Copies of this chain bind each other. A is one copy, B any other.
Amino acid sequence: MTTTDNTKQSNRDKKQQQLLDAAEKLFSQTGYDGASMSMIAKEASVPKANVLYYFKNKDSLYEAVLDRIVAQWNLGLENITPDDDPAVVLYNYIKSKIKLAIEQPMQSRLFASEIIRGAPYLQGYLRNSARPWIREKSALFQAWIDAGKMNAIDPQHLLFAIWSTTQYYADFEAEVLLVQNKLEYENSDVEKITQSIAQLILTGVGLAIPE
């Protein structure tokens, strides 16, 4: 088409992204029911009716926020084969998860709220994306175990353990910071957390922390 069409399209996209930003922030702070359309509009500095022009109702806005998170949230561990070194792979995975949890806690918290509520909007994602992914990576872990590269453990529970320990620092940030009497995480915290978790998980399956 013409250039004007493209500009219009990108303007529309840009505005939609801004609305999604505001919605993501508020949904993650107070949950689906706690965040009102007028609060979201206020956060985005537009009238409420304008939000409803871009998203036909609250449900579809919430769904769009979740869809964006899930799309960005590449589950990781791509292009890994049984020939790779499990210690290196798991260490890097844990490291990236911790980094994500501390730098993008809102996504993790919104995801958690949604699952706690019984995942009404994420059933499709869990069934069609997460489940096959988990099955695939479980097979990878099992191959490592069968090859004697790491100790036997249920691969699914190993994945759950990695997710839970890393996401904890996003979802329970308020608790962790309050207990440690801090206002926010420091760079040194990221390092310390990574080391502690990597030690537990890796040593836990008989691997040494790489390098």
Which residues of A are in contact with B by a Cβ distance under 8 Å?
A: 29-34, 109, 112-113, 115-119, 123, 126-127, 130-131, 134, 151, 153-154, 156-158, 160-161, 163-165, 167-169, 171-172, 174-176, 178-181, 192-193, 196-197, 199-206
Contact = CB atoms under 8 A, between A and B. Distances in A.
A180 B164 contact: no
Given A33-B33, A161-B165, 16 more contacts: A31-B32, A31-B113, A34-B117, A115-B172, A115-B174, A115-B175, A130-B179, A131-B179, A134-B179, A151-B203, A153-B200, A160-B176, A161-B168, A161-B200, A203-B204, A203-B206
A116 B126 contact: no
A175 B171 CA distance: 16
A169 B159 CA distance: 12
Contact of A179 (B109, B126, B151, B179): B126
B165 A127 contact: no
B192 A157 contact: yes
B119 A178 contact: yes
A196 B164 contact: no
Which of A154, A179, A180, A197 is packed against the most chain B CB atoms within 10 Å? Answer: A179
B116 A109 contact: yes
Given A115-B174, A178-B131, A204-B204, A153 B199 contact: yes
